[in-house]
Amino acid sequence: MIRRLLLPLVPTVLLATCTRAQEPIASVRSQAPAVPAQQAPTASTRAQDPIKVTVRTDPPIVAPGGWVDVVAAYEVEKGKVFTSPHSPNGPRTRFDITGPKEWRRNSTLWTLRGQKRKDPVHGDVVDLGGRGGMRLRFHVPEAAAVGKYDFTTALTLALGDGKTYAPETKIEGATSVQVAATGARGPELRNLDNQAAITDEEKALLAKNGFMVRGNAEFAVAQSNDIVCVTLDILVDAGVREDALSISCDPEEMRYTAVDGWRAFRAEVGLPGEKHATSIREVLPIAFADHGVAGKFEIPVQVTLRTTRVGDQATSQMATQSVTVNIEYTP
């Protein structure tokens, strides 16, 4: 079981939640960067190209023993699509990355789910288009020396219009990550956001406990030795102060175990009626076994928060909310 002890929390730098969410919980009011910006990422696209690609690392500064994602963010001209790397058929996109040889990489490339359709030539395909991204995770060894580490990338894809595809094109890029003792333990995972509006049940939790939690696994399917991040999005009600936090997740033998997580960001957000609440993202990495027991199952996570409702008579309370995320494990 992994547990973060109930200790007083120090003030955290405010960060913006992702503004690309389709239906955000709330709008961001203020923001500030958590770490210095990395060198400008690159990719060989021009302003007139039908697809623009930017390559970066998330986080730009990582601690030894942490995780870093190499991210390709794209913007495709309206009316154009390309085939997902996970499409059952069609000219599948490839995202090739060269990085430090001793850094272990995930088996699974993360992408948006895309749109399924029936192609007249290839049959069932999954299209990607508009704005989006894909990411591959690397584990930084505990013994990694402080310094800059470089990645080169090649995104190979065939753009189409839903009827025909153009010849494949290769978009090459480069980026880097800085390893430092003061770096983050892992990515913020901002392009995973897809928040729906607050439900009546969640509103009741806010009123009763002073907070609500949503859990989401970044992948629907995990493979052997993958690190899959569970994002825990916590909304603390207006007029409520976060005092202490505990997260627990029991392991399941021959399948997974939770490892020490990190706080991705904390932001002040707006609620209806000009109220201002606090949005927090905690990330819980789940390490999957090597050649464990296959199957579909739920991962239960408990989030305990001690809060104080600020007012003329300040009152403190502690409450626990349980969330479950569904995942399939294929060794």
Whether the per-residue pLDDT at 19 is higher than 50: the answer is no
Whether the per-residue pLDDT at 194 is higher than 70: the answer is no
Fold match between domain 2-16+190-330 and domain 36-179: yes
CB burial class (10 A; 0-12, 13-18, 19+) of residue 243?
middle
Domain range list for the chain: 2-16+190-330, 36-179
Residues 6+ apart with CB under 8 A from 199: none
Whether the per-residue pLDDT at 207 is higher than 70: the answer is yes
Res. 156 pLDDT band, cuts 50 70 90: very high
pLDDT in the model for residue 191: 60
For residue range 270-297, what is the model confidence (pLDDT) as tens digits? 766 667 889 999 999 999 988 888 999 9
Res. 147 pLDDT band, cuts 50 70 90: very high
pLDDT in the model for residue 220: 87
Q: How far is CA 39 from CA 151, 185, 263, in A?
A: 13, 19, 23
pLDDT in the model for residue 108: 87
Q: Which residues pair with 174 in a beta bridge?
A: 42, 152
For residue range 41-73, what is the model confidence (pLDDT) as tens digits? 556 555 568 999 999 999 999 999 999 999 999
pLDDT in the model for residue 313: 78
Q: Can you tell me the mean pLDDT for 151-172? A: 95
Picking from 6-10, 24-28, 53-57, which range would have the lowest pLDDT averaged per residue? 24-28
Res. 310 pLDDT band, cuts 50 70 90: confident
Task: State the architecture of 36-179 in CATH terms.
Answer: Sandwich (2.60)
Whether the per-residue pLDDT at 190 is higher than 90: the answer is no
Rg (alpha carbons) of the chain, rounded to whole number: 21
Task: State the architecture of 2-16+190-330 in CATH terms.
Answer: Sandwich (2.60)
Q: Can you tell me the mean pLDDT for 178-194? A: 85
Q: Can you tell me the mean pLDDT for 186-190? A: 88
For residue range 213-271, what is the model confidence (pLDDT) as tens digits? 999 998 888 888 899 999 999 999 999 999 999 999 999 988 999 999 999 989 888 76
Q: Can you tell me the mean pLDDT for 170-178? A: 97
Long-range contacts of 315-323 (CB under 8 A, 24+ apart): 316/243, 317/209, 317/210, 318/6, 319/208, 319/209, 319/210, 319/211, 321/205, 321/209, 321/211, 321/212, 321/213, 323/213, 323/214, 323/215, 323/232
Whether the per-residue pLDDT at 18 is higher than 80: the answer is no
Q: What SS3 state is found at 277?
A: strand
pLDDT in the model for residue 81: 96
Whether the per-residue pLDDT at 14 is higher than 70: the answer is no
